[in-house]
Chains A and B, each alone.
Chain A
Amino acid sequence: MNLSVRMIVVLTVVGLISGSLLAVVGMLTKDRIAFNKQQEIKAAILEVVPGTETSEEVFTEKNFTIYSGKNRDGNLIGYAVYTSGTGFQDIISLMFGTDPNITKINSLSILEQKETPGLGAKITDKEAFLKFWDNKDAGRALSLRKPAAHSQDELAPNEVNTITGATISSDKVLSIVNQSLEKLKQMKQAGKLISEENDAE
């Protein structure tokens, strides 16, 4: 077998074996990976819209997805918004839950972030940041309380607490949520949040 032919044959064979091996592995792992992603979203939805039995994606575009949460009887108990935006260092991915009429925010969950460890990264900490997001008034835009308050009672219904030393990260989270909240309300008003089963019986 002369050299050129041999080169082509070897490369083709290596390529084919590699391709087939990968195709097999790809198929074996594909479902599992999709499943993992779904589980992560489901868990986050359950956290921000407690009592959710079934959830459904009612609207999605790049970086912004709205899920509806229904309880065991099929009644709408809230919306979960999954979105991301620029943080201090890199992208922050979060999810927050509201009631069906979008009058309050149930809670906030940070899914992905790369903020400064020990400072901005505290946005994932319940005690340091997230607990101040529980049961907030969503009637108007939220604002950031600076300097940091010591307890939840000090905060106004639409105020959230800043993290000392990580004002910018806190602020970035705030603007991501505010923008998404606005969008959510607009979607609701435009009637775009109707799910398959009409809950207006």
Chain B
Amino acid sequence: MELITLFIAAILVNNYVLYYFLGICPFLGVSKKIDAAFSMGLAVTFVMTITAVVSWMINHWILIPYNLDYLQIVSFILVIAALVQLVEMFIRKVSPPLYQALGIYLPLITTNCAIMGLALLAALKDYGFAKTVIFGIGSGLGFTLAIVLMAGIREQLDLADVPKPLKGAGIALIVAGIMALAFTGFSGMIN
């Protein structure tokens, strides 16, 4: 029961992008077309879930038992860099068209707060294994939801007459703000 609440919370109430401000770079960068956004969202969800599992294992099997928590940041980021590298090679082998579609964004997944944020948040909240996995999947889906919604809106915006200074990042951020406001409506949904 608690897992379901956590899952819904991660997607709606404490949406990864619109509440925790994580994953802004890809959120603004990839959200121009809906299919690209969706693919990116799924890639991120995939990497997030694996990261959630691996970072939990590192934290609970190595860092904490040996009193090495000060190595948390270094170990997490190195693991993430390695994981993304592996995922990239995997996608390239398994589905070249998908690899083409995601292009440069895959390596970008490493150096953006999305994945590292996931590892750190899960460690901070001290979730058990099951919760960490659910948190990873939920956060990834929340990210996907936000980025797909954003892409949908931006596809429409491309046809509209946006004032020059606001074009691009400016209007994207304002739209994100309105979305964030809308998502605030989900607060209090869970018990």
Q: A residues near B, CB below 8 A?
A: 18-19, 22-23, 25-26, 29-30, 86, 88-91, 116, 168
Contacts and interface: CB of A to CB of B under 8 A. Distances in A.
A178 to B, nearest CB: 14
Nearest to A22: B70
B67 to A, nearest CB: 8
A23 B71 CA distance: 8
B74 A26 contact: no
B190 interface: yes
Nearest to B68: A26
Given A89-B13, A90-B14, A22 B187 contact: no
Given A30-B70, A91-B125, 9 more contacts: A19-B74, A22-B70, A23-B70, A25-B70, A26-B71, A29-B70, A86-B190, A88-B187, A89-B13
Contacts of B187: 88-89, 116
B74 A18 contact: yes
Interface string B59-74: 0000000001111001
B70 A86 contact: no
B71 A19 contact: yes
B74 A86 contact: no
Contact of B71 (A22, A89, A91, A168): A22
23 contacts: A18-B74, A19-B74, A22-B71, A22-B74, A23-B70, A25-B70, A26-B68, A26-B69, A26-B70, A26-B71, A29-B70, A30-B70, A86-B5, A86-B191, A88-B188, A89-B13, A89-B14, A89-B187, A89-B188, A90-B14, A91-B125, A116-B187, A168-B188
Interface of B: 5, 13-14, 68-71, 74, 125, 187-188, 190-191
Contacts of B13: 89
B187 to A, nearest CB: 5
B120 to A, nearest CB: 16
Contacts of B125: 91
A59 to B, nearest CB: 19
B71 to A, nearest CB: 6
Contacts of A29: 70
Nearest to A87: B188
Nearest to A175: B191
B132 to A, nearest CB: 14
A37 B155 CA distance: 49
Contacts of A116: 187
A103 B151 CA distance: 57
B63 to A, nearest CB: 11
Contacts of B70: 22-23, 25-26, 29-30
A111 to B, nearest CB: 16
Contacts of A23: 70
A12 to B, nearest CB: 13
Nearest to A18: B74
A78 B188 CA distance: 33
A86 B69 CA distance: 27
B172 to A, nearest CB: 25
A23 B187 CA distance: 41
A196 to B, nearest CB: 27
A30 B5 CA distance: 34
Nearest to A28: B70
A171 B30 CA distance: 41
Q: Nearest 5 pairs between A and B by C-beta?
A: A26-B70, A168-B188, A88-B188, A22-B70, A89-B187
B124 to A, nearest CB: 11
B22 to A, nearest CB: 15
A23 B14 CA distance: 34
